[in-house]
Amino acid sequence: MRHKINLTVLALILMMSACNQKPENPQKAEETKTTDSTPTEAQIDFLGITDPNHLSAASKRALQWPTDLGNEWFIEFSQLQPLKGDLAYEEGVVRRDPSAMIKHDGKYYVWYSKSTGKTDGFAGDIENDKVFPWDRCDIWYATSEDGWTWKEEGMAVPRGEKGSYDDRSVFTVEIMEHDGMYYLCYQTVKSPYNVRVKNQVGLAWSNSPNGPWTKSEEPILSPADNGVWKGTEQNRFLVEKKGDFDSHKVHDPCIIPYKGKFYLYYKGEQMGEAITFGGRQIRHGVAIADNPKGPYVKSPYNPISNSGHEICVWPYNGGIASLITTDGPEKNTIQWAEDGINFEIMSVIPGVNAHAIGLNRTAEIEKEPTEILRWGLSHIYNSYDYQSIMRFESHRKTTHVAKGESN
């Protein structure tokens, strides 16, 4: 009898404890409640659900979409168009990875990677050969009055002296204008350029877009140092430990002044890079500084994307928007983060034929979410050896009608 009483008391204690216990994460509990809720009549009608009591995985995902789902972020890209003047295709010359464009004294300015000669690859003498089209590059710049006809003005940032962190190549450049100063951030490689080399990010600054430019003595961003190569063979897929998402390379830097700080967005490549169901395992990260020259501290929330290739970011509506292309399960999407870090998908768009996009930073960015993508610059592979810079355009798509049909 006493045993039964003790069991009854224990059961009552457990019940009272359960009633008084609060959820560990009230927000998570609320999210779960929302997810499990019955669809509204409007949702059923809009999504075309046959039976709300039998929801497929796809319908459950659709019910988590924003309730104000619209098409203001949905765009299509047109075919690339050739430029005129000095940026027209030139046999034997590589011009690629255009920066964003700014305007100064009535002219557009753009910076880009430039090299000459064909690509030899890694099979020969890597000390003297050219292993990639972006190998043995310097950073050049050009100006234009109309965005079509360009005049090449000369070299802006050269490779460093032998033994420096940027002695092999400087490339994939971006421009930031802030408080009367101009900043170029770019990728760097130190010789020898083998398949296990770790790319870094450099910085140069000037009080004029025409230079002269002062280069940082040390890189402002480097790969994570927690991956472990397997053996000494020059094989970038052999690893004992992959490390962080950016353990091999930090690429495609772009600095955005944001909320009183400077956000350096970049592409990370991981040691032992895998192929997933979305293609190459490429993700983006961000490093933040109080000063344009750094020091830049990587966010603990990295990586901040599941996908992407070249960085293409712009401020909009108090947050940061990002065009995600080429690689990963979320490729060909436009995303937006209210805090510049936690990105959400705003639209899924058709394949993007523009690469290494150079945005028009003079655009009226608050007019529409994608106004800055109406036109800009891209590079194109004329062949594997030679690339040139072209112009892209995009347009919003708001209807889908047949020929002769009224909207």
376 phi, psi to nearest 5 deg: 180, -160
Please write the tens of the pLDDT for every residue from 153-195: 999 999 999 999 999 999 999 999 999 999 999 999 999 999 9
Q: Which two tokens stand for residue 343?
A: 């990105």
CA angle 133, 98, 91 (to 5 degrees): 45
pLDDT band at residue 18 under the 50/70/90 scheme: very low
> What gap in Å lies between CA 345 and CA 332, rounded to an integer?
10
Lowest mean pLDDT: which of 14-23, 189-198, 273-282?
A: 14-23
CATH of 75-396, picked from 3.40.50.300, 3.30.70.1170, 2.115.10.20, 2.40.50.140, is 2.115.10.20
pLDDT band at residue 403 under the 50/70/90 scheme: confident
pLDDT band at residue 364 under the 50/70/90 scheme: very high
Coil/strand/helix, residue 14: helix
> What gap in Å lies between CA 52 and CA 171, rounded to an integer?
54
For residues 276 and 25, which has the higher predicted lDDT (pLDDT)? 276
The answer to whether the beta carbons of residues 247 and 222 sit under 8 Å apart is no
Q: What residues does 174 pair with on adjacent strands?
A: 185
Please write the tens of the pLDDT for every residue from 114-151: 999 999 999 999 999 999 999 999 999 999 999 999 99
- So where are the chain's domains? 24-69, 75-396
Helix (H) or strand (E) holding 241: strand 239-241
Nearest in space to 347 (alpha carbons), one of 400, 393, 397: 397
> Is it the case that residue 5 has pLDDT exceeding 80?
no
Q: Which two tokens stand for residue 191?
A: 């010789």
> What gap in Å lies between CA 165 and CA 159, rounded to an integer?
9
Q: Would you give the DSSP letter of residue 196?
A: T
> Is it the case that residue 36 has pLDDT exceeding 80?
no
> Is it the case that residue 31 has pLDDT exceeding 90?
no
Q: Which two tokens stand for residue 362?
A: 């003079």
